[in-house]
Structure 1
Amino acid sequence: MSGASLSVTGLRVAYGRRAVVEGLDLAPLRPGTLTALVGPNAAGKSTLLRGIAGLVPGTRGAVRLGERDLLAMSIPERARHLAYMPQGLPGGVALTVMETLVGALRATPTALAPNGAAAAAHAVAVLRRLGIEHLAMRTLDRLSGGQRQLVGLAQALAREPAVLMLDEPTSALDLRHQMSVMALVRETVVSRGLVGVVVLHDLGLAARFADRLVALSEGAIQADGTPAETLTPDLLARVYEVEARVERCSQGHLLVLADAPIRGAA
């Protein structure tokens, strides 16, 4: 792990001529912390994540991990520092789970997997941490959407990168797995000193597991701070167009209670 912060300045992410994110700056994302990108549909969350990860051609601006310019790196070089998990792995792939993990480890060799045997042992350990070692010899095309989501998380965690970026890792999971996956992501980020960035729709999960929330709307930052600072009735009205309350449950967790859509909102 690098122990370096991730900084984003002047970021422009566009698809063709259509800019989704323009001139965006983020205060440094510190190692050992988890930041959640939240906002309504089409707010630019996934686009921002992909732009930071260098996955959108033509992205402009600076994304630095300490002194390293991630956007200036080749894809294999960047993969040594940053792991990105998409919203879901593609179906119709006949490779086994083990083959995909070992392949990912061997594609960008690290001290974790200097050879095939070490890569296989490390892959099994990662699957065991996620509780899905029983899927090791199953092919991706025989997995459910939720199982593929967990395998995608395993692939992201396997290389133990300095930056871990996850796009809606809980979207296909049931309630139990949502909680267990987010607990594991947070524990991994904190204990290993990673910079963690996750796109989440569920504000309750974001408030419970993230140290910092960045609320987006139309590709621009509307609020940035701790969950308590960010999740306010005013923010929910402006960004989500709902009348809502933010309260704490008996265990002290923040709850967002939406009462009604704001009349006249688009």
Structure 2
Amino acid sequence: MKPDLTIQGLRVAYGSRVVVEGLNLPPLRPGTLTALVGPNAAGKSTLLRGMAGLVPRTRGVVRLGEQDLLAMRIPDRARHLAYMPQGLPGGVALTVLETLVGALRAVPGDRPVSGAEATRRALDLLQRLQIADLALLSLDRLSGGQRQLVGLAQALVRRPDVLLLDEPTSALDLRHQLSVMDLVHRMVREEAVIGVVVLHDLGLAARFADRVVALSQGAVQADGTPEATLTPGLLAAVYGVAGRVERCSQGHLLVLPDAPLPPSV
């Protein structure tokens, strides 16, 4: 059985500016997808980067079973954890296929991955993401949405124990938003991955996440199933809007904001 991910007393700061302070979460389970939601500047992306060990001034516990991920060297941590940023760096002339093969072979695993196996796994994943036609294009020729899909592929190709995705659907059209979230949810379940995704779209969080953690000002405001977390009270308290949460004719949970609330005095 794969281990849980434990987060205790997490503090993430940029210089003297503390964004997340003393954050605790109940264990994140393998095979589940957790959505981090909240308004702008709530600390969602900072929390994700802190969990990934990408912010130097991060303190606290991020433990996978008995292994302290924050205490590991970067190559060792990368064996267990994959992080997808909001955007890939520019000016990269490698092809999409080359970047995926490189991502797969750059991290040492329990056994070496041959070039042929790495290529096969990369092409299979591109097929599942419906972007196999991009395989031989260089990254600097891709649109923003295409680059986002490639970034997701780079995170998924290594089949990590922990998958951290920062707004993987923000630049995608409606069709690709649904297909990407469906694929991520299925892969998390089928391969018993601990998935954590930052989402602005509460509808996607309600539909695809097993658990929703709502943040505001770097602190947890609610944590539980989508139905328990995404409530009119949360919309008012965290987002400052009046809204409804209802189920549609197909049983999906819908979050319906109606109007902004006046600022509290």
Structure 1 residue aligned with 2:165: 166
Cα distance in 2, alignment partners of residues 112 and 265 from structure 1 = 58
- What are the superposed Cα offsets for residues 13-50 of structure 1, whole Å, 9 maximum, x if unpaired? 00001110000001000000000000000000000000
Alignment of 1:247-266 (within 5 A): 247-265=246-264
Cα distance in 1, alignment partners of residues 88 and 25 from structure 2 = 28
Cα distance in 2, alignment partners of residues 4 and 265 from structure 1 = 43
- Choose 255-264 or 233-242, whichever is displaced more: 255-264
Aligned CA distance change for structure 1 residues 81 and 161 (closer, same or farther; 3 Å): same
Quote how far apart the aligned CAs of 1:109 are.
2.9
Read off the aligned partner of 1:91 and give its amino acid letter.
G
Structure 2 residue aligned with 1:23: 22
Cα distance in 2, alignment partners of residues 84 and 264 from structure 1 = 36
**Runs of 4 or more off by more than 6 Å in structure 1?**
none
Number of matched pairs: 265
Quote how far apart the aligned CAs of 1:140 are.
0.4
What is the TM-score with the length of structure 1 in the denominator? 0.97
What is the TM-score with the length of structure 2 in the denominator? 0.97
- What are the superposed Cα offsets for residues 185-242 of structure 1, whole Å, 9 maximum, x if unpaired? 0000001100000000000000000000000000000000000100111111010000
Cα distance in 2, alignment partners of residues 264 and 146 from structure 1 = 35
Q: SS in structure 1 opposite 2:215? A: strand
Preserved CA contact (<8 Å) 1:112 1:119: no
Give yes or no for the alignment of 1:55 onto 2:54: yes
Structure 1 residue aligned with 2:205: 206
Q: SS in structure 2 opposite 1:148? A: helix
Read off the aligned partner of 2:135 and give its amino acid letter.
A
Give yes or no for the alignment of 1:222 onto 2:221: yes
Structure 1 residue aligned with 2:70: 71
Preserved CA contact (<8 Å) 1:36 1:212: yes
Cα distance in 1, alignment partners of residues 125 and 111 from structure 2 = 12
Read off the aligned partner of 1:234 and give its amino acid letter.
G
Quote how far apart the aligned CAs of 1:112 are.
7.3
Read off the aligned partner of 2:253 and give its amino acid letter.
L
Q: SS in structure 1 opposite 2:177? A: helix
Cα distance in 1, alignment partners of residues 118 and 170 from structure 2 = 29
Read off the aligned partner of 2:200 and give its amino acid letter.
H
Preserved CA contact (<8 Å) 1:6 1:29: yes
Uncovered stretches (5+) of structure 1, i.e. residues with no partner = none
Cα distance in 1, alignment partners of residues 90 and 146 from structure 2 = 11
Structure 2 residue aligned with 1:156: 155
Cα distance in 2, alignment partners of residues 36 and 228 from structure 1 = 13
CA RMSD between the two structures: 1.2
Cα distance in 1, alignment partners of residues 88 and 241 from structure 2 = 33
